[in-house]
Amino acid sequence: MQIENALAIFGINDDVTFDQLERRYAELLEKYSAKRYENSALKDIAYKKLNEVQKAYEIIKSHAQNKQDKYLFSYHNRGFNRYPYSYYYRRQPDCGCPDCGDLCTACACIWATDTCCECAGGDCI
């Protein structure tokens, strides 16, 4: 079984934490548990599914890069630090990047751009 198929069985992408994986695993175990399908005619198929889930779990575990890390094998390990959306929309002044200081700097930037543009014959605002 490929790692992609294993992730598809779990219904997760490769950017989740270990906690989320464990939680999902417990959920699936309960969903296909033998106790639930005790009196059903679909007992055999449920058993097959359960085995599949267990196999997929082993594969995902073995592929996870650094077990100490919070994330399984995410973009964080590929040098791409994606931050949550809330940071993006509400940048604080002390976010560390040089571009967004305060409102004054931003206004000055806009003014400078507009002047440059008008000098060149355009009209951006």
Partner 1 sequence: MFGYVKPFKDEMKIKEWDEFRRFYCGICVSLSKKNWISKFFMTYDAVFFSILLAAINQEEHVQNKKICFFTLSKVRYFDSKSIDYATNSFLLLLKYKLLDDYADEKKILRKFLANFFPKKLNIFTESFQEKVRILLSKLNEIEKNNSKDLDEGAKVFGELTGLFFEDKGKTEDERIILKHLGESLGMWVYLIDAFDDLEKDVKKNAYNPFVSAFGYGGEDVNEFKDRIRPMVREKLYSLLNEVVLSYDLLDVIKHKGILDNIIYLGLFNETERVLAGKRICRRL
> Which stretch, 38-46, 56-64, 68-76, 115-123, contacts partner 1 (CB under 8 A)?
38-46
- How many CB atoms lie under 10 A from the CB of residue 10? 19
| Residue 36 engages partner 1 in binding (rule: CB under 8 A) | yes
Q: How many residues sit in the footprint of partner 1 (CB under 8 A)?
A: 11
Using CB under 8 A as the binding rule, whether residue 41 contacts partner 1 is answered as: yes
Bridge partner residues of 71 (DSSP): 17
Interface with partner 1 (CB under 8 A), residue from 37, 57, 72, 74: 37
Site string for partner 1, 48-67 (x = CB under 8 A): xx------------------
Residue 17 CA to residue 76 CA, distance in Å, equals 11
Sign for the CA dihedral angle at 11, 40, 1, 68 comes to: positive
d(CA 105, CA 121): 25
| Contacts to partner 1 by CB under 8 A | 31-32, 36-37, 40-42, 45-46, 48-49
